[in-house]
Chains A and B, each alone.
Chain A
């Protein structure tokens, strides 16, 4: 059977593209950050203790019973600043259903500067700060934190259900929040939370 060379060339192009796409996808999923954070999904979120901007000691597990959106950010991170106004609105919208956004400043800036920054950004959800060594340990527990922003969605029972690496669209973030809250988020609110 005689084959049309043009069709063969075109088919070869398509196959090459598919192979390249597959290799590219495999390479991305093998990047150190991706591997480490992928392991976190389905696992109990590592607990940690940090200080709030007003000096109170806060444990991640203090928020057990709520769906937690744990956002790692820094003052020098422009994409982080894009998300922050969304987070304020998302907290307002989904807070009554049991969402609690918690920000962790992965910053060398001093607490005063971080407080000033968060005030300027109008952030009204808790922002936690800590010493370098504590932050490094937390970063390691959450996949190394090679870049910012990184956000982890944690279910009411403390399980990591979703991760958002880098800046994503607001709709993607909201979808992750809805997934974490569950279909009947409002019903699941526990008394006293």
Chain B
């Protein structure tokens, strides 16, 4: 009975000590990545602004600088878009970053994104645009780090479409209708 207890205790000790070794990550174990979810076709009315939400995911174990990093030399996450003529990118709204301390600098907080982030793009087709589907292309520049190393800046291609349609015509009153029902 006593030997059984000793075996179990020893084994549990090995498991407890071994688990952190497995969890430990060394830099370069896997490449950092930021991926973009497919964007559903956004319907936008001529002459009116519409918002397209772009969803990105920063791979687990990595972080990227926010759009307003806490230090001058850090590379911000930034979206650049090229829209067709007469479709105006009215603005890009970045989510606020999270102030996080990392093991490499526990006394310092860096403003970063990790996990899922959404960047909102304001798209405004001018009234001169013909109704139809329009592709907008661009790239998300980011620079990722993990807990022990940083990876060179990368550019992720960003592509989505918007469907521009005419403003729905207002329902007209029916003038001159006889009050009599036949």
Query: What are 13 of the A-B contact pairs (CB < 8 Å)?
Result: A11-B7, A14-B15, A20-B22, A32-B28, A74-B152, A76-B74, A78-B102, A109-B73, A148-B151, A165-B27, A166-B26, A166-B27, A167-B148
Interface contacts beyond A27-B29, A34-B28, A146-B31: sample of 14 additional A-B pairs, CB < 8 Å, sorted by A: A10-B8, A11-B7, A11-B11, A14-B11, A20-B22, A21-B21, A76-B73, A76-B74, A77-B149, A78-B105, A78-B110, A146-B151, A148-B149, A166-B149
Q: How many residues of B contact A (CB 8 A)?
A: 33
Q: What residues of B have a CB within 8 angstroms of the CB of A74 in the complex? A: 150, 152
A108 to B7, alpha carbons, bound, how many Å? Answer: 57
Contact of A31 among B14, B15, B28, B102 (CB under 8 A): B28
A17 to B13, alpha carbons, bound, how many Å? Answer: 12
* Contact in complex: B104, A79 (CB < 8 Å): yes
Q: Specify the main secondary structure of chain A where it touches its partner.
A: helix
Contact of B14 among A4, A17, A147, A167 (CB under 8 A): A17
* Contact in complex: B7, A10 (CB < 8 Å): yes
* Contact in complex: B153, A13 (CB < 8 Å): no
Q: How many residues of A contact B (CB 8 A)?
A: 40
User: Which B residues from 123 to 182 make CB contacts under 8 A with A?
Assistant: 143, 145, 148-153
How many Å from the CB of A133 to the closest CB on chain B? 15
- Which residue numbers of B lie inside 8 Å of A, CB to CB? 4, 7-8, 11-12, 14-15, 18-19, 21-22, 26-31, 71, 73-75, 102, 104-105, 110, 143, 145, 148-153
User: Given A7-B8, A10-B11, A82-B105, does the pair A147, B28 have CB atoms closer than 8 Å?
Assistant: yes
* Contact in complex: A21, B18 (CB < 8 Å): yes
- Which residue numbers of A lie inside 8 Å of B, CB to CB? 4, 6-7, 10-11, 13-14, 17-18, 20-21, 24, 27-28, 31-34, 74-82, 106, 108-109, 113, 117, 146-149, 165-168
